[in-house]
């Protein structure tokens, strides 16, 4: 579960970085923010300042604070180690605040690393511990941020609506999460979350049918494979490798019309949390796969292939359909899209996401606005000067700086049209490659900092994340993309899917669980049982399915599922209480 | 007795000087951290000092031994390391003997260097290669189809058949490590007195007799000592290959103690459980070690201590 | 061979054939890895690469070497390998010599004390705290001190010494040489084959180590090693391949992306080539023709 989360957060980060871009009027930002950062002791700024000379004049005028460097440990390795002030964004922020961060990223096992920090009671000044957060909280490694938050208007503004939810059991706030929604919710036009995918040639040949149900979807695949027997196609493949197993076990939840809340479906009326691993939905889903398998349409190797093999299969153009989350198959999709860009005939093999449910009920595959509450960044007890860190964060949370970290600099990494809409030219898009992302700092500031959540909207109506800006999205589409979207009467991929309902608890998997708690143990055991029995159920002779299902129920029955559901129901209730306050 | 001991000690002061500093080193670096075993009896939290820890007695051991999966993972651990031990020894010694028979020194060196290469390929990469080779469209299935042993469409899902797992694991380990493991035997062979071969030649001994009567006895002390050490290591069957090649279908044969501890100890930040499992392994290892050494001693072979 | 019988000839043919086959099987993974490292990252995802790259590219190597830190890290790796190996080989051999002396009163005690440590481990955190208290955290010497003696090496050397003809030892004794001089002048030179073996084991271990860097020195870039930097690069390639999934995946940037698969292959090559180059130099000590091998009295 923790990994699921990590990956999901990386996916989000990706959405940002990918779209990574910048803003230009930072001269103005600096002037405004420099005001509140005066004071302090010996002024060695003069000597250090002139190193990166490409900065605006503002720094020299208003007496800058003495420079200070804090150490920051990041539990996700998403960029090379380095100093923030070596990036364009980080330099601008240093000019405004005098603060630099020396970032160390995790290499190796997170829990071990954090364990040694705790044991020696020596921490970096700031930690973004990712999945190690419960360990640090348990050890009392973070300071209480409550007394600081009130002092900083930008922090207060961004986190204000969430403060009650950010409180730990003792009523204190130890870290700032990353997914706070600011402004209206901007939906992702792409499908980075779950969908049933199918090759475009299948839709083309069938005349672009508007399929909605699971049976229609499998029928579509079956017809196509049967018509093209000589091509040796794989009807349907599924990802099961290691922690990615949820790409196979989550479907019953989605088919029943629920979003990805992890292991539970939460009733919209009673708000009761129920697991779905032994219910009729899961049985129906596995039986459908079993039938598929008996017809020779299911790829048996799904249960032994590793992730690389799976991606290779998808890229091989042999797989007709599959379910997965967009962020997991991005690489395969890119291979296929790249090919289609060079040769439009290859567009046949690009995968189109479809919203499928059991009986055509509204899907909930798109993410509702969510608040991931078990990840965040905190200041440790080892930090000498928490005020300076908070100041930095407050500065970073100004809208101008959020534009800087997301869109970049006007005229360099984005443009503004006469209606005030942000966009990027083709040259800018081409320019912003991986090395540029690193040098400019988009990569460092895409995630892991106190920030506007990815789906936020700026006060002038522009999307915070360039990748979510409709103008930018439209520019990325090929003619064939537009054609198929046109057949379905939509502008974006997301528009095919139902609008997400409001679920304040979403994502339920983001509700913090204590380490070694019964909930965590239950999840480990659940993984064990499902990983062992799902292959048996899918690959069994159809006549034996019910027998194996009974065996599976027996094995699953040993788990304390009722306790797990009870715990979740209580958590949901708590959140709803907090929200209604 | 006492007197003579000290007298001897003084007499052997040079030997003492050459070894005792390292015994002190050993004590500091290896024995001192053993206080950590107390963690197995605590609900250990790294942030707390020793006196603040909560003591739980044998709770973690109970968790281990009463879990219904424990016997299975113990069986898998012993089976896989047993296979590894036997296969590893037999193949490495055989290869060393075969190499020793090659008189073209260049070829000998070439074989040696090439067979040593897979050792430098991490298990992650190696497992990827193994999985590709064993896949439905992998080379093994292609050969089986081409030779008519199986029909197209009936490809064997090697990693999906539980009782194949130990063989796949054993073969993979040999493939990866055989060249590396040979080195120590080749080194031992250099110490064999050439006059022994000459004497055997005089007796008219053929190639195999010389192998059997000269080469093997020449390296036997090394073989026996390594064997005893490795028998003591039977609780360590490795972790990466099982983790990487394991899946839901073969879990009953692939999951070993280390993976179990990873899931319920390390991933849950339960240090205590990991330490408890480690202690259990130590106890078993020491029993095996003593037994192996005693047998070696009784049969008059070289021994470890 | 004076009289090669028919059976001998059959054996020869079989032996050469078998060893040639073995070479094919063991060379394949390396060539396969090399091919992946020289193939465009995105294209590698499609799989199906065997001995030759399909879409030749050196972008993976460029990605690995883009950080200037890697040179310094390589230097540290060389230092720790050279110093660590020298120290371990010398110290292990010296102790091995003492416990090979049957008359040494502490022989059994020392032997058992060392052997036991192969089978227990106090746990990561106690060891970490010990290193901290010894002020080895944040120091180069944390790579050297904990490995001063390898027990496996110790036992292998001891067995080798015990296999040496007793007469040679005796000759030193009669010369009236002290134990250290016997060790230094007589035993060490005779032990070259086993010392070369142990040196190889230790060097490979030192060269490949990254876990101690991770535990003790991860925040000090000046003490980072090649393997550790490669691990970092691998993790970055994970992240950077993930960034492809935006609305910009079809921009020019995407095509030059590296993938974890190809970076893993590249780092395997980068890290193992030095060890492969070193090998023949050590190899000459333990691969000898059987007639020229052995101890020359």
Cis peptide before C285 (omega within 30 of 0): no
Nearest chain C residue to A335 by CA distance is C42
Residue C56 domain flag: no
Chain A residues touching B160 at Cβ < 8 A:
300-301, 303-304, 535
| Residue A186: closest CA among A395, A467, A517, A577 | A467
**Which fold, A68-183+372-408+441-455?**
D-Maltodextrin-Binding Protein; domain 2 (3.40.190)
As a whole-number percent, the residues of chain A with pLDDT over 90 amount to 66
Domain ranges of chain A: 68-183+372-408+441-455, 194-365+477-580
Residue C282 domain flag: yes
Residue C71 domain flag: yes
Query: Given a cut of 90, is residue B95 above it in pLDDT?
Result: yes
Do strands A408-409 and A415-416 pair parallel, antiparallel, or not at all (unpaired)? unpaired
Dihedral over alpha carbons B146, B150, B156, B158 (to 10 degrees): -70
Lookup: tokens for B229: 């050490």
Element (H, E) at B224: helix B216-232
Query: Given a cut of 80, is residue A50 above it in pLDDT?
Result: no
Q: What is the arithmetic mean of pLDDT over A303-325?
A: 95
pLDDT value of residue B1: 52
Taking all residues of chain B, what is their mean pLDDT, rounded to a whole number? Answer: 91
pLDDT value of residue C150: 93
| Residues in a beta bridge with A213 | A357
Q: What is the arithmetic mean of pLDDT over A481-504?
A: 93
User: pLDDT by residue (tens digit) across B265-278?
Assistant: 888 888 899 999 99
- Residue A130, sorted as left (phi over 0), alpha (psi -120 to 50) or beta, turns out to be left
Lookup: tokens for A573: 């209730």
Chain C residues touching B8 at Cβ < 8 A:
103, 105
Asked whether A45 and A64 are in contact (CB, 8 A), the reply is yes
**Number of domains into which chain B is organized:** 1
Q: First-to-last CA distance in chain A?
A: 29
- Residue B238, sorted as left (phi over 0), alpha (psi -120 to 50) or beta, turns out to be left
Cα–Cα separations (whole angstroms), residue B128 to A310, B123, C233: 12, 8, 19
As a whole-number percent, the residues of chain B with pLDDT over 70 amount to 99
Q: What is the largest CA-CA distance in chain B?
A: 82
Query: Given a cut of 50, is residue A30 above it in pLDDT?
Result: no
User: With bands split at pLDDT 50, 70 and 90, how would you rate the model's confidence at C201?
Assistant: very high
Q: Return d(Cα A34, Cα A41) in angstroms, integer.
A: 17
pLDDT value of residue B22: 97
| Residue C237: closest CA among C272, C256, C261 | C261
- Per the listing, tokens 């059976």 go with C7
User: pLDDT by residue (tens digit) across A98-122?
Assistant: 999 999 999 888 888 999 999 888 9
Q: Return d(Cα A472, Cα A421) in angstroms, integer.
A: 10
Element (H, E) at A104: strand A99-105
Residue C257 domain flag: yes
User: With bands split at pLDDT 50, 70 and 90, how would you rate the model's confidence at C291?
Assistant: very low
How many CB atoms are closer than 10 A to CB A251? 25
Query: Given a cut of 90, is residue B137 above it in pLDDT?
Result: no
User: pLDDT by residue (tens digit) across B76-91?
Assistant: 999 999 999 999 999 9
Q: Return d(Cα A122, Cα A248) in angstroms, integer.
A: 41
DSSP track, C13-38 = HHHHHHHHHHHHHHHHHHHHHHHHHT
User: pLDDT by residue (tens digit) across B222-263?
Assistant: 999 999 999 999 999 888 999 999 999 999 999 999 999 988
User: pLDDT by residue (tens digit) across A238-293?
Assistant: 999 999 999 999 999 999 999 999 999 999 999 999 999 999 999 999 999 999 99
Query: Given a cut of 70, is residue A18 above it in pLDDT?
Result: no
**Inter-chain contact C251–A476, Cβ cutoff 8 Å?**
yes
| Residue C83: closest CA among C137, C135, C147 | C147
Q: Return d(Cα A14, Cα A78) in angstroms, integer.
A: 10
Asked whether B109 and C19 are in contact (CB, 8 A), the reply is no
pLDDT value of residue C175: 66
The dihedral sign for the CA sequence A294, A316, B175, B241: negative
Asked whether B25 and C149 are in contact (CB, 8 A), the reply is yes
Does residue B151 belong to the interface with chain C, where contact is any CB pair within 8 Å?
A: no
Q: In this structure, what are the phi and psi dihedrals at residue C20, rounded to the nearest 5 degrees? A: -65, -40
Does residue A6 belong to the interface with chain C, where contact is any CB pair within 8 Å?
A: no
pLDDT value of residue A417: 94
Q: In this structure, what are the phi and psi dihedrals at residue A126, rounded to the nearest 5 degrees? A: -130, 140
User: With bands split at pLDDT 50, 70 and 90, how would you rate the model's confidence at C135?
Assistant: very high
DSSP reduced 3-state for C152: helix
pLDDT value of residue C244: 34
DSSP single-letter state for residue A414? B
A269 exposure class (CB count in 10 Å sphere: 0-12, 13-18, 19+): exposed
Query: Given a cut of 70, is residue C122 above it in pLDDT?
Result: yes
pLDDT value of residue C69: 86
| Residues in a beta bridge with A105 | A74
> CATH top-level class for A194-365+477-580?
alpha beta
| Residue B180: closest CA among B86, B85, B91, B79 | B91
Residue B23 domain flag: no
Which is higher by pLDDT, C42 or C228? Answer: C228
Residue C16 domain flag: no
CA A299 to chain centre: 28
- Residue from the list B127, B135, B249 with its beta carbon closest to the beta carbon of A535: B249
Domain membership of residue C225 as a residue range: 63-294
SS (H, E, C) C49-83: CCCCCCCECCHHHHHHCCCCHHHHHHHHHHHHHHH
- Residue from the list B135, B249, B270 with its beta carbon closest to the beta carbon of A309: B135
Asked whether B22 and C149 are in contact (CB, 8 A), the reply is yes
Asked whether A15 and A191 are in contact (CB, 8 A), the reply is no
Residue C25 domain flag: no
Q: Return d(Cα B244, Cα B254) in angstroms, integer.
A: 10
Q: What is the arithmetic mean of pLDDT over A400-422?
A: 94
Mind telling me how many Å the CA of C138 is from chain B's nearest CA?
17
| Residue C113: closest CA among C86, C88, C127, C95 | C95
**Inter-chain contact C29–B117, Cβ cutoff 8 Å?**
yes
Q: What is the arithmetic mean of pLDDT over A164-188?
A: 90
Portion 146-165 of B in contact with A at CB < 8 A: 157-160
pLDDT value of residue A198: 97
DSSP single-letter state for residue A457? B
Chain A residues touching B165 at Cβ < 8 A:
none
pLDDT value of residue C248: 30
Chain B residues touching A531 at Cβ < 8 A:
247-248, 251
Residue B91 domain flag: yes
Residue C74 domain flag: yes
Do A194-365+477-580 and A68-183+372-408+441-455 fall under one CATH topology? yes
Cα–Cα separations (whole angstroms), residue A255 to A8, A249, A358, A545, C190: 20, 11, 5, 20, 74
Within 13 A of B295's CA, how many CA atoms are on the CB side?
Answer: 10
Domain membership of residue B94 as a residue range: 60-299
- Residue from the list A104, A189, A434 with its beta carbon closest to the beta carbon of C240: A434
pLDDT value of residue C245: 33
pLDDT value of residue C239: 63
Q: Return d(Cα A156, Cα A371) in angstroms, integer.
A: 17
Q: What is the arithmetic mean of pLDDT over A310-333?
A: 93
As a whole-number percent, the residues of chain B with pLDDT over 90 amount to 69
User: pLDDT by residue (tens digit) across A506-542?
Assistant: 999 988 888 888 999 999 999 999 999 999 999 999 9
Within 13 A of A482's CA, how many CA atoms are on the CB side?
Answer: 8
Query: Given a cut of 90, is residue A59 above it in pLDDT?
Result: no
Instruction: Give the total residue count for chain B.
Output: 305
pLDDT value of residue C174: 65
Q: What CATH number does the domain containing C106 carry? A: 1.10.3720.10
User: pLDDT by residue (tens digit) across C46-95?
Assistant: 888 989 999 999 989 998 888 788 999 999 999 999 999 999 999 999 99
Dihedral over alpha carbons A151, A153, A155, A161 (to 10 degrees): 110
Nearest chain B residue to A136 by CA distance is B47
DSSP single-letter state for residue A231? G
pLDDT value of residue A40: 36
pLDDT value of residue B184: 92
Residue C76 domain flag: yes
CA A127 to chain centre: 19
**Number of domains into which chain C is organized:** 1
**Inter-chain contact A304–B268, Cβ cutoff 8 Å?**
no
DSSP single-letter state for residue C44? H
Which is higher by pLDDT, C205 or C4? Answer: C205
User: pLDDT by residue (tens digit) across C217-258?
Assistant: 988 889 999 999 998 888 877 765 554 334 333 333 444 577
Site from C46, C243, C263 to mutate, A interface, most A CB atoms within 10 angstroms: C243
Q: Return d(Cα A41, Cα A66) in angstroms, integer.
A: 7
Q: What is the arithmetic mean of pLDDT over A351-374?
A: 91
| Residue A458: closest CA among A397, A412, A501 | A397
Which is higher by pLDDT, A432 or A37? Answer: A432
Number of Cβ pairs closer than 8 Å across B and C?
Answer: 267
Residue B74 domain flag: yes
Query: Given a cut of 60, is residue C125 above it in pLDDT?
Result: yes
Mind telling me how many Å the CA of B250 is from chain A's nearest CA?
8
Which is higher by pLDDT, A228 or B190? Answer: A228
User: With bands split at pLDDT 50, 70 and 90, how would you rate the model's confidence at C205?
Assistant: very high
User: With bands split at pLDDT 50, 70 and 90, how would you rate the model's confidence at B2?
Assistant: low
Query: Which chains does chain B touch, 3 or more C-beta pairs < 8 A?
Result: A, C
Query: Given a cut of 90, is residue A192 above it in pLDDT?
Result: no
| Residues in a beta bridge with A414 | A410
Q: Return d(Cα C232, Cα A82) in angstroms, integer.
A: 12
Q: What is the CA radius of gyration of chain A?
A: 25
Q: What CATH number does the domain containing B288 carry? A: 1.10.3720.10
């Amino acid at each position: 579960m923790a990994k699921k989360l990590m990956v999901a957060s990386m996916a989000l980060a990706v959405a940002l970085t990918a779209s990574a871009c910048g803003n230009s009027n930072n001269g103005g930002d600096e002037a405004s923010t420099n005001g509140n950062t005066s004071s302090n002791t010996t002024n060695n700024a003069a000597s250090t300042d002139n190193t990166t000379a490409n900065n605006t004049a503002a720094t020299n005028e208003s007496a800058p604070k003495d420079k200070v460097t804090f150490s920051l440990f990041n539990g996700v390795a998403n960029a090379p180690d380095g100093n923030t002030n070596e990036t364009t964004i980080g330099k601008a922020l240093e000019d405004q605040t005098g603060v630099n961060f020396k970032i160390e990223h995790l290499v190796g096992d997170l829990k071990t690393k954090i364990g040694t920090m705790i044991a020696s009671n020596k921490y970096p000044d700031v930690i973004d511990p990712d999945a190690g957060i419960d360990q640090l909280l348990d050890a009392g490694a973070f300071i209480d941020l409550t007394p600081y938050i009130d002092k900083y208007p930008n922090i207060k503004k961004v986190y204000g609506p969430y403060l009650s939810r950010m409180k730990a059991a003792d009523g204190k706030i130890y870290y700032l999460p990353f997914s706070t929604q600011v402004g209206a919710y901007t939906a992702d036009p792409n499908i980075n979350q779950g969908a049933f995918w199918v090759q475009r040639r299948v839709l083309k040949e069938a005349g672009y049918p508007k399929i909605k149900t699971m049976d229609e979807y499998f029928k579509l695949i079956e017809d196509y494979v049967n018509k093209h027997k000589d091509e040796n196609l794989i009807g349907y493949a599924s990802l099961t490798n290691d922690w990615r197993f949820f790409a196979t076990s989550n479907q019953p939840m989605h088919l029943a019309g629920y979003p990805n809340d992890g292991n539970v479906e939460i009733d919209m009326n009673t708000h009761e949390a129920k697991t779905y691993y032994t219910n009729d939905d899961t049985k129906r889903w596995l039986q459908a796969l079993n039938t598929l398998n008996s017809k020779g349409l299911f790829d048996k190797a799904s249960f032994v292939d590793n992730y690389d093999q799976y991606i290779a299969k998808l890229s091989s153009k042999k797989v007709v359909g599959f379910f997965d989350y967009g962020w997991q198959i991005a690489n395969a999709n890119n291979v296929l899209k790249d090919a289609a860009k060079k040769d439009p005939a290859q567009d046949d093999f690009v995968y189109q996401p479809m919203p499928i449910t059991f009986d055509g009920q509204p899907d909930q595959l798109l993410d509702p606005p969510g608040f991931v509450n078990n990840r965040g960044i905190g200041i440790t007890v080892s930090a000498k000067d928490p005020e300076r860190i908070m100041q930095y964060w407050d500065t970073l949370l100004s809208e101008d700086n959020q534009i800087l970290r997301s869109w970049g600099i006007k005229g360099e990494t984005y443009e503004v049209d006469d209606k005030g809409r942000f966009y990027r030219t083709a040259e800018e898009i081409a320019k912003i490659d991986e090395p540029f992302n690193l040098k400019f700092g988009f990569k460092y500031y895409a995630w892991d900092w106190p920030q506007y959540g990815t789906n936020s909207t700026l006060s002038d109506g522009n999307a915070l994340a360039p990748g979510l800006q409709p103008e930018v999205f439209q520019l990325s589409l090929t003619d064939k993309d537009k054609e198929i979207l046109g057949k379905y009467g939509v502008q974006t991929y997301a528009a095919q899917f139902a609008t997400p309902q409001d679920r304040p608890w979403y994502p339920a998997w983001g509700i913090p669980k204590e380490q070694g708690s019964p909930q965590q143990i239950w999840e480990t055991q659940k993984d064990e049982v499902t990983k062992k029995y799902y292959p048996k159920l899918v690959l069994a002779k159809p006549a034996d399915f019910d027998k194996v299902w009974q065996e599976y129920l027996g094995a699953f029955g040993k788990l304390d599922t009722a306790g797990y559901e009870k715990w979740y129901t209580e958590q949901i209730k708590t959140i709803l209480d907090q929200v209604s306050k | 007795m006492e007197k003579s001991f000290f007298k001897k000690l003084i007499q052997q002061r040079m030997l003492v000087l050459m070894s005792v500093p390292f015994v002190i080193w050993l004590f500091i670096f290896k024995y001192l951290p053993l206080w950590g075993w107390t963690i197995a009896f605590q609900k250990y939290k790294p942030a707390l000092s020793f006196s603040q820890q909560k003591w739980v007695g044998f709770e973690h051991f109970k968790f281990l031994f009463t879990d219904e999966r424990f016997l299975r993972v113990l069986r898998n651990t012993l089976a896989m390391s047993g296979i590894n031990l036997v296969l590893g020894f037999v193949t490495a010694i055989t290869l060393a003997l075969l190499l020793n028979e090659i008189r073209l020194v260049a070829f000998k060196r070439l074989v040696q260097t090439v067979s040593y290469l897979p050792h430098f390929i991490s298990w992650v990469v190696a497992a990827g290669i193994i999985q590709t080779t064993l896949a439905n469209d992998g080379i093994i299935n292609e050969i089986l189809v081409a030779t008519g042993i199986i029909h197209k469409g009936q490809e064997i899902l090697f990693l999906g058949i539980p009782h194949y797992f130990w063989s796949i694991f054993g073969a993979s380990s040999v493939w990866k490590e055989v060249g590396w493991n040979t080195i120590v035997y080749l080194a031992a062979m250099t110490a064999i007195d050439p006059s022994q071969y000459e004497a055997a030649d005089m007796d008219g001994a053929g190639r195999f007799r010389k192998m059997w009567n000269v080469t093997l006895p020449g390296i036997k002390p090394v073989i026996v000592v390594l064997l005893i050490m490795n028998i003591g290591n039977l609780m360590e069957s490795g972790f990466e290959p099982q983790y990487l090649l394991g899946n839901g279908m073969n879990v009953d044969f692939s999951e070993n103690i280390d993976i179990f501890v990873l899931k319920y100890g390390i991933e849950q930040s339960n240090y205590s459980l990991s330490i408890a499992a480690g202690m259990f392994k130590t106890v078993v290892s020491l029993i095996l070690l003593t037994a192996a050494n005693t047998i070696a001693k009784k049969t008059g072979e070289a021994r470890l201590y | 061979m004076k009289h090669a019988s028919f059976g001998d000839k059959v054996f020869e043919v079989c032996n050469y054939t078998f060893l040639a086959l073995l070479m094919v099987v063991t060379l394949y993974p390396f060539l396969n890895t090399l091919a992946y490292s020289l193939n465009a990252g995105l294209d590698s995802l499609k799989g199906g690469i065997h001995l030759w790259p399909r879409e030749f590219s050196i972008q993976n190597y460029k990605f690995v070497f883009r950080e200037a830190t890697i040179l310094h890290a390589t230097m540290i790796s060389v230092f720790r390998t050279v110093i660590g190996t020298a120290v371990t080989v010398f110290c292990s051999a010296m102790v091995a010599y003492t416990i090979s002396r049957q008359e040494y009163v502490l022989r059994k005690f020392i032997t058992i004390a060392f052997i036991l440590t192969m089978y227990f481990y106090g746990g990561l955190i106690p060891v970490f705290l010990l290193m901290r208290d010894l002020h080895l955290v944040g120091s180069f010497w944390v790579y050297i001190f904990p490995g001063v003696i390898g027990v496996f090496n110790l036992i292998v050397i001891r067995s080798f010494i015990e296999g040496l003809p007793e007469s040679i030892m005796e000759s030193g004794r009669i010369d009236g040489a002290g134990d250290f001089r016997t060790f230094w002048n007589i035993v060490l030179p005779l032990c070259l084959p086993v010392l070369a073996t142990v040196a190889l084991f230790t060097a490979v271990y030192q060269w490949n180590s990254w876990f101690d860097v991770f535990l003790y020195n991860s925040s000090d870039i000046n003490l980072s090693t090649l393997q550790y930097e490669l691990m970092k690069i691998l993790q970055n390639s994970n992240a950077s391949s993930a960034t492809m999934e935006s609305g910009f995946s079809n921009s020019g940037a995407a095509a030059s992306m590296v993938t974890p698969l190809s970076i893993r292959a590249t780092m395997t090559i980068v890290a193992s080539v030095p060890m492969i180059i070193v090998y023949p130099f050590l190899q000459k000590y333990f691969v000898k023709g059987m007639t020229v091998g052995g101890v020359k009295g």
